[in-house]
Structure 1
Amino acid sequence: MHVLLDRQGWMFSIKTYLASITALYIGLAGNLSRPYWAMATVYIVSQPLLGPTRAKGVYRILGTLLAGAATLLMLPHLVETPLLLSAAMSLWLAGCLFMALLNRGPRGYAFLLAGYTTAFIGFPAVTSPELIFDTVVARSEEIILGTVVAVLFAALVFPASVRPMLTGRIGNWMGDAAHWCRQILEGGRAHAPRNRLAADLVQFEALIEFLRRDDPRHAGAAVSMQQLRERMLLLLPVLSSIADRLGALRRHGDGLPDGLESLVEDIRQWLEAPTESPTHDQLRARISALKPQVDGDLQHLQLASLLLRLEELVDLWADCRALHQAIEQGSAPQDASHYRINTGSVAESRHVDYGMALFSALSAGIALMSYCVLWIGLGWEGGGNGAMMAAVAAAFFAAQDDPAPSMMSFLVWAVVASVVAGIYLFGIFPAVHDFGLLVLLLAVVFLPLGVLLHHPKTMLFALPLTVNLVALLSVQNTYSANIQSFVNSAVAMFIGIGFAVVMTRLFRSVGAEWTARRLVRQGWTTLAEAAEGRGQQDRERFAARMLDLLGLLAPRLAATPEGSDIASVDMLTEARVGLNILQLRRARLELPERSREAVERILAEIAAHYRRQAAARRPLPGDEALRGRLDASLSRVGGVAACKARDEALMGLVGLRFALFPDAEG
């Protein structure tokens, strides 16, 4: 109930309703064949904030034009062979959906629209294929009209910038990161802040795109956001490594060495109060002063590794602060160069699951094709509406692990929409004779629905209810409602969505645990490839890839049943293993031959370990022989003449030793 009392929600609803009525009026005045499509498009495109509305509008127009071109290519040539036309439409839907699933950002929306808009344009046109060009033009005009009106109203009528929301979100992220930093430096190991941070960082790219669309003046802030995301991604494994090193030194040694405890406490205070002493440069100087001689002694290596990670922490956090300040000011970063990052490689390192995307896309295509076979077999003249809705339902929820529950909800609210539409069409509209009265009567339903669209939780059912209601009302210049035609269209819609639900349950539904296992196996395979010298060898790019996996994995691990072996996997630890592998591979080339061969055998054993885990689909204990080789290599490499390659190799070996065998004594 509190949702309906939200002032911002009512402002959004009134603005969106006025935009939709404006689009409908223009469509009616222009004598468009289906002006209500323009009204529905306004509700589809409109978002509470300007940036997302502009982004969605741009990609909706692109998707519509692509769908129109595809329809013109397919329908005239295949309309005489309904099964071939259905197969072509289904393959087109699957192909577009595959591309949409590969593009997790706003760009994927264009492919999603292109997939199911072809069904919206093509299937109703099979009875009059000679008019297909006019039909494509008319549908494109109606959708583009609705999109342009939605964007204009969003930009001109009480525009809501994305900046305040982003400032709040980034402040929360910085707070989560600082809280986790302090917990680790105090000896805690809470996972909640880091999992929340990783999951949020997965959404960062979409927010950057929205900021760019929000206002050209925010281009500098978008650059700052991109750089902040890159540093926060690398902050996660650095903090995880610090937690392990501090824990090991406190457990197995005589406490922290002289000066280190006070340094850790000062860093913790610096995270809380950046304007007070000590400064970043003073902390760096104190870290350098504590660095021991790097040799084969495990205690020295642990301390050196810890101090190296503390150095990275203060550099990364200093940059994060500078970037946060730049974002709040809406400018490009002035001073964020303490930690150098290969920016181009990080931006291209998202995890892409081609197999799962193909499986999901083909499942949607099969659902549409199955309905079309039923439609053609029955010879049902009004069944085209069901094909349209089967395409929408199959495509719209394809990115979910188990789309069936959401599709069932879609079906339920479609039924509600048909009941409300029936009341309007046959109980109210016969008495309506002017546009002004129509506007007032529609406002009774659409204004509360607009408030529900403003909130993410209620939007999930409010959007299908609103759009289906607009489509079923079919407002045109002349009242021509026919109860037989209405019932036929509504039943076809229910059967189409229901068929998509059934086919999805048969072919597609998987649980969060199944997807979590798949993501974990992808991570293990990536680690094996890194150890074998294949795959992404750039440090920042590799870290971004593994942490993208962590962000996708975190919410799914939270949904796995208690006691599941996959819930024990810590992808952040795996990311640290990968970074140490890359460091070791780079350093081994300048070691003496015997040391290099020993390191290469270790890398081969690590690759085999992760290959075994991926094949077994569950975590396996590390081989004690591998631990022995790591300890032996630490001693052997420690005896090599001092040089940069030796120090890097020792850091890589000790990192692997404590990431793979954290509880084993040195």
Structure 2
Amino acid sequence: MIVTLTGRARRPLPSLHVDPQKLLFSLSTLIAAIATLAIAFSASLPRPWWALLTVYVTAQPMAGAFRPKVLYRLGGIATGALVTILLVPNLQNSPELLVLCLAAWTGFCIYLAVLDRTPRAFLFQMAAFSSAVISFPYLDDPANIFETTVARVQEMTLAILCVTATHALLQPWSATPVIRARAQSFLGHARRWAAEALGSQHTRLENDHRRMLAADVTELGMLAIHLPFDQRWALATQRRVMALQQQLAGILPLASAAANRLDLLRDAGMPPDLELLLDDIVAWLVGEDSRLDEVGPLVRRCERLATACEAQRDWGSLLAASACVRMAEFLSALAASRRLADRIGSPGRPNFKAVPAERFALARDHGVAALAGLATMTAIMLYCAVWILLAWPNGSATAAFAALITCSFATQDDPAPVIGRYLLATLKTFPLAALYLFVILPRVDGFEMLIITLAPALLWMGYIQADPKRSPEALPMFSCFIVAMGFLARFQADFALFLNTGLAQLGGIVATLAVTKLFRSANVLWTARRILRSNWGELTQLADIRRPFLPQRWTAMAVDRLGQVAARMAVATPGDDLHAADGLADLRIGRNIIPLRRSLPHVPHDERRHLGVVLSSLSAFYSARWSEGRALAPPAALLAQIDQALEGLLKLALDEPRRGALRALIGMRCNLFPQAGAPAWEGAA
């Protein structure tokens, strides 16, 4: 606040801050746009505006995020063009059948794009809307469809190659610092969450933070896919990120398992040694100057106390031992993750023997993908039906815009909010397009003056595109600005054409929004329930000893599903049964099934039979959940079977596999039956 000589307070002017990285991205994209327009004009391409729009549609702020998509986009354009040439000339006399085939093709491509959650999905997305935007504007006059298709492919290919070359030379910011920052942010958040969870605030914090952390683990893997296109030592960096994902995937269930045991111990009375150890662990977690070399002594203290407690073999001591083991494993995973995060982006190759060779497996749901494809297909058919029935001259453009928007947002559960913002951004940009078209451009002469005149608007919108919070506004702004002016070799300021083009864009957006609200808005909770059911189905197979045993793949997909549910829980009402389905508890149980299956060859026949009964009952329990589609309570018989298996293992000498099975059974009992008292065999003894 500034006070003037008159005594009146005057607010300071807002400071203008320009991010150099965002400005670099906007400038490099502008250079690509200039090169694209120059080549398009010199080669007399029929639609230079389409090439210019493609530049901004395909540009990505991170170089590493853009390069792997180039070949996929080019392949998608070629595929879409081929489908157009095959369908339109052969079905031009049957418009209804042609629309049906184009809609079915687009829906099939969206199905594949939703199913494949990697950059390869851009191939299917580009194939979908390239065929739509090439075909629909020319369905009334398909005689020259081959020349039109070739021209569109040339324009889009030119734009993509110009953007790729420009970004390769100017080097917009890399994906590596983003990954490192995301990993370190995750670790800091995980430390705070674990410190409070171990300090008796387990339930509240689990509901608030755990799913967001799971989503971050999956996002790291999506970013890591871009690394081989980023730098010369990217293979080593990608392997480090893959190893980091495996470590981070263990942090969530290990920390929550330790907190679960500590909650039970607080009710029964915490051993003094464990209280002192817990205080030291929490102090290390919350300390800003905590060093990694302090983790080793804490882990060894946990292991010594766990061994001492397991030797006593009463239920309270076994709970304390389980808590100590999980805390030791959690601290080890946290320290290993921190070391890997610090090394991301540094030259050199990691120890590949310690790094997983497989990618972090992603969960796929054919039902969700099929629904997205079917909704897209239905929407396009409705657009075309309205266009044909009304005989609207600009209806073909509306259908093309609607198809492009539908394909762009088809991978989201509920695209309606994003499409609503798309509509607002389009409305805000129309006055700017009109100002340029009818006031500024008539006074421009020559290509150089055209670029100088356009540069302020394109730089401003490109800067918005580089901002993750505002980037959804950029695409409609570019679309409205570029398409409304319709850059051609010769200037044309036709108000009727401008108005019809604008109405076509708005009509496409409004039609897309209406169809989306009708078909897709109720899809979010349905998708979340399908994801939970898929997880129960995977647990059914994991506990079935007749099935292949792939523990790392299961853990990766379980964490991925936990992250997918995270984004959808916000729309669930407090009383919804989705909140009763504890995905993290399922993850902990699954990780306890793994040592049980590994221990089967190492126990005598009778104990192997007891463990087999437990696994069989778990498989049947999760199969029942999968069949019913809701979180059923575990049967009481399962508790007795777990207790019987525990009693049998405690009579044996505990080598490493048997000790792992013992700890797994304790974890299962605590997760499935947290309110159960001590086992019956302890009272009998």
TM-score normalised by length of structure 1: 0.90
Count of residue pairs the alignment pairs up: 659
Query: Which of 321, 332, 343 matches 1:326?
Result: 343
Given the superposition, is the C-alpha separation of residues 236 and 343 from structure 1 closer, same or farther in structure 2, using an over 3 Å criterion? farther
Stretch moving more, 197-206 or 310-319: 310-319
Which of 481, 487, 493 is the matching residue for 2:499? 487
Partner residue in 2 for 1:225: 241
Query: Where in structure 2 are the equivalents of 1:121-270 lying within 5 Å?
Result: 121-157=134-170, 159-189=172-202, 190-191=205-206, 192-253=208-269, 255-256=270-271, 258=273, 260-268=274-282
Match of 1:112 in 2: 125
Given candidates 52, 68, 74, the residue that maps to 1:39 is 52
Shift of 1:419: 4.6
Cα gap change, 1:110 to 1:283, in 2 (>3 Å): same
Residues in 1 aligned to 2:546 and 2:16: alpha-carbon distance in whole angstroms: 55
2:102 matched to which residue of 1? 89
Residue 616 of structure 1: how far off its partner (Å): 4.3
Secondary structure in 2 aligned to 1:466?
Answer: helix
Does the residue aligned with 1:332 lie in a helix, a strand or coil?
Answer: coil
1:426-446 CA distance string (max 9 Å, x none): 444333332233223323432
Residue 60 of structure 1: how far off its partner (Å): 2.1
Distance 1:366 1:23 in 2: 35
Alignment root-mean-square deviation, CA: 3.0
Structure 1 unaligned residues grouped into runs of 5+: none
Q: Can you give the 5+ residue segments of structure 2 that lack an aligned partner in the other structure?
A: 1-12, 679-685
Change (3 A) 1:243 1:146: same
- 1:291, 1:307 within 8 Å by CA — same for their partners in 2? no
8 A contact 1:297–1:638 mirrored in 2: no
The equivalences for 1:370-389 within 5 A come to: 370-389=382-401
How far apart, in 2, do the equivalents of 1:605 and 1:158 lie?
56
Mapping 1:491-530, distance limit 5 Å: 491-510=503-522, 512-530=524-542
Contact 1:322 1:333 (C-alpha < 8 Å) held by counterparts: no
Q: Which amino acid aligns with 1:364?
A: T
- 1:149-185 alpha-carbon deviations (Å, 9 max, x no partner): 2222223236323333333222212212333343344
Assess if the C-alpha contact under 8 Å between 1:418 and 1:469 holds in 2: yes
Q: Paired residue for 2:8?
A: none
Q: Which residue of 1 aligns with 2:588?
A: 576
Contact 1:291 1:303 in 2 (8 A): no
Which deviates further from its counterpart, 381-390 or 488-497?
A: 488-497
What is residue 599 of structure 2 aligned with on the other side?
Answer: 587
Counterpart for residue 639 of structure 2: 627
CA–CA distance in structure 2, aligned partners of residues 567 and 2 of structure 1: 44
Deviation per CA, 1:423-470, whole angstroms, max 9, x where unpaired? Answer: 433444333332233223323432322222121222112211212321
Give the match for residue 489 of structure 2: 477
Which residue matches 1:404?
416
- SS of residue paired to 1:398: coil
Percent of pairs with identical residues:
31
Residue 62 of structure 1 pairs with residue 75 of structure 2: yes
Return the alpha-carbon distance in structure 1 between the equivalents of residues 121 and 438 of structure 2. 40
Q: Which amino acid aligns with 1:51?
A: G
Contact 1:294 1:304 in 2 (8 A): no
2:38 paired residue number: 25
**1:71 maps to which of 80, 84, 89:** 84
SS in 1 for 2:489: coil
Q: What secondary structure sits across from 2:578 in the alignment?
A: helix
Q: 1:361 aligns with which of 373, 382, 398?
A: 373
Q: 3-state DSSP class of the match of 2:574? A: coil
Name the CA distance, whole Å, in 2 between partners of 1:21 and 1:185. Answer: 57
Name the CA distance, whole Å, in 2 between partners of 1:277 and 1:650.
30
Of the structure 1 ranges 375-384 and 90-99, higher mean CA displacement relative to structure 2 is found in 375-384
Q: Determine if contact 2:402/2:511 at 8 Å carries over to the other structure.
A: yes
What does the per-residue CA deviation read over 1:496-537, in whole Å, with 9 as the maximum and x for residues that have no partner?
Answer: 332232222222222644433332222223223323347663
CA contact (8 A) 2:136 2:400 kept: yes
Show CA shifts across 1:583-603 (max 9, x none): 323434554454444434433
The equivalent position to 1:555 in structure 2, one of 567, 589, 613, is: 567
Q: Separation in 1 of the partners of 2:548 and 2:272? A: 37
Matched residues in 2 for 1:194 and 1:331: separation?
33
Aligned-partner Cα distance in 1 for 2:371–2:237: 38
Structure-2-length-normalised TM-score: 0.88
The equivalent residue for 1:433 is 445
Instruction: Return the letter of the residue paired with 2:52.
Output: M
| Counterpart-to-counterpart distance in 1, 2:296 and 2:655 | 28
1:650 matched to which residue of 2? 662
Mapped partners of 1:14, 1:43: distance in 2: 12
Tell me which residue corresponds to 2:675.
Answer: 663
